[in-house]
Structure 1
Amino acid sequence: MFDNMKIPPSIPRHSIACFGEVLWDLLPSGPQPGGAPMNVAYHLHKLNRNPAMISRTGKDERGRKLLDILQNKGVCTDYIQQDDTVPTGIVNAQQHANGDMTYEIVAPAAWDHITADDRTAAMVEQADYFVFGSLACRHPASRETLFQLLEKARTKVLDINLRAPHYDRPLIESLLQKADILKLNIDELELVSGWYPGAVSITARLAHLRERFSIPVIVLTMGANGAMLDINGKTYNHPGYKMKVVDTVGSGDAFLAATLSMMQDNAGPADTLDFANRLAATITTYKGACPDYDIKEADSLKRITHI
């Protein structure tokens, strides 16, 4: 679609572009703006990375309020489209005793209908990183747009974000084939690696994904057990930070934002992994995915030097 693209003049440069769902998480404590790629964009903004969000809302009260909140929080909304007929997305969320959440992702939703245009493609082409996930592929419209933009992206960051029943093996494998950086949690690793019997240990499963899909960097979050970073076959481990958890919503998204921010600064793997754990731990002490917080809270955690 973009083979004869004419790049519009004066396209502002954004270091990271995030593609996918923007919505309202209807939490037990009340509605909160959400959607994994939007959460990543929010935390990237907090880290002064000038991200842009590519999505779609309805022309309704929820959509207007969501855009207002994002603008007030400083997140670029220039590439968030508005739909005349399809409503702004919502998710019904339920919190369990251990702090984990389950979600009902309601359809129809405007973010299922993201369209492509030359202006958006030009922005993606200039960005250092392009963040995307599997949920935005549940509808053919946004899925087609995503694959068009992937052809323009420099470094493709797959935040796999598996949400049943909105994925299948062929879709996930097609996304893995595109990824330069893969971020997933321990449950997602268990599910995906189960498609390829043989590897038993976590490191062996990561190695299999790296080799099968030629993925240079894999980021694995393990909840209270910390995280791992696999870079070209060398693995780094971090035990994580123990916090009094309010909820875990958005902590993985903060982790990814911190990781990309550190990578942009050419930080070493150990420093990258430690800061990502510190920021993710900080977010678990708040309600919702995009709380107001000071980055100094993450900086104040005592650094774990043994990695």
Structure 2
Amino acid sequence: MKTEKLTIKGMCFGEVLWDNLPTGRQLGGAPLNVAYHLNKLGVETMMLTRVGQDQAGDDLVRLCASLGIPTRLFQRDSKYPTSTVEVHIDENRDVTYEIVFPVAWDYIAVGMQELDAVKEADFLVFGTLSTRNQASYETWKMLLPFAKFKVLDVNLRAPFYTKERVLELLSHVDLVKMNQEELDMVATWMGLSETWTDRMKVDAIMESCYVDEVIITYGARGAVYHVQSAGFSYHFPALQVEVKDTIGSGDSFLAAFLAQRCRRDKVTSAEEMLSFAATLSGFITQSDGACPAYDSTILNRFQWIHDLKAFHIDERATS
């Protein structure tokens, strides 16, 4: 695996924030994490968001710029503060969040430069959380008609979602990523049987909501990529790594997948897309935080070591 400068462009919409972790403050927000990794992977990706006119906002914008995330569409708000989240990690390394409301990104505005940026992008990424407030929700609706390829990251954070809003978002997108728990929740809302397999649930959601592509992530068990128009589902296992924390692993998976899925210079197979995504997600899972520093050399070495370990395991199993 290598990183390279690609000709495609992306845009992410929604929350940026400071995650207050037990180990200290870290940059966060699912769409921001996706934007970070896309830019690291050679996909120029804008981030449309809003931060407060406060020290936390100054620090956040400064850090994003230093990390290579374009900040031209970072709006400043004089009334609402920069977002913060209290993050708790239990003994199983599972993560829970206490998300402050309202904050600056609940009031993302839209003008000509925002519309032009969406028109220029090859895809628009957003999450369910980013539409929790009416102001940003209305902005999302104005952006949607101009997006070439719409990607929804289902991230259900109680109490900031409703059945009606999530089902509406699902009906307007081309690609959806969610985990198994979120799949079961959506299936329940749609009245699907609990006895149905995940494949049956996904098929019903794709048919009802007119979504052609769905990715279901299963943590340590990997991910399954479903494509209705091609009539296939492809499972790829997760890399076996020593977990430090799972913060941002799904975001990195989505970024790596899109970097391959949307490229115009070659046709990429489902196996290549998912392998690339699993590798970056595995690297993030065994790293501290959602946006660790890395480059192509570090990723290539990580993949080489993993492939070497897998080879020795297979060799012992067949000897």
TM-score by length of 2: 0.89
Identity over aligned pairs, percent: 40
- Would you say 1:106 and 2:100 are equivalent positions? yes
Q: Which has the larger radius of gyration?
A: 2
RMSD in angstroms over aligned alpha carbons? Answer: 1.7
- Match for residue 219 of structure 1? 215
Give 1:14 deviation, angstroms: 7.1
Distance 2:188 2:270 in 1: 27
The correspondence for 1:24, drawn from 15, 18, 41, is 18
Moved more, 289-298 or 186-195: 289-298
1-structure distance, mates of 2:35, 2:150: 15
Tell me which protein shows more helix as a share of its residues. 2
Taking structure 1 as the reference length, what is the TM-score of the superposition?
0.92
2:150 to 150, 156, 167: 156
Native 8 Å contact 2:31 2:125 kept in 1: yes
1:78 aligns with 2:76: no
1:151 aligned counterpart, secondary structure: helix
Asked whether the equivalents of residues 17 and 52 of structure 1 are also in contact (C-alpha less than 8 Å), the reply is yes
Pairing partner for 1:57 from 27, 51, 59: 51
Please say if 1:275 is aligned against 2:284.
no
Choose the corresponding residue for 1:94, options 88, 99, 102: 88
Per-residue CA deviations over 1:149-181 (Å, capped at 9, x if unaligned) read: 012111000011111111111101110011101
Residue in 2 aligned with 1:237? 235
Ranges in structure 1 where 5+ consecutive residues have no aligned partner: 1-12
Q: SS of 1:248's equivalent?
A: coil
Within 5 A, what are the aligned runs for 1:1-307? 15-195=9-189, 196-198=191-193, 200-232=196-228, 233-265=231-263, 266-299=267-300, 300-301=302-303, 302=306
How far did 1:294 drift? Answer: 2.7
Q: Detail structure 1 runs of 4+ shifted over 6 Å in the superposition.
A: none
SS at match of 1:179: coil
**1:291 corresponds to which letter in structure 2?**
P
- State the alpha-carbon separation in 1 of the partners of residues 171 and 102 from structure 2: 28
The residue that corresponds to 2:3 in the other structure is: none
Q: Equivalent residue for 1:4?
A: none
Could you list the per-position Cα deviations for residues 121-160 of structure 1 after superposition, in whole angstroms to 9, with x for gaps in the alignment? 0110121100011111111111110111012111000011
How many residues align? The count is 294
Which shows bigger deviation, 262-271 or 124-133? 262-271
Alpha-carbon distance in structure 1 between the residues aligned to 2:67 and 2:268: 27
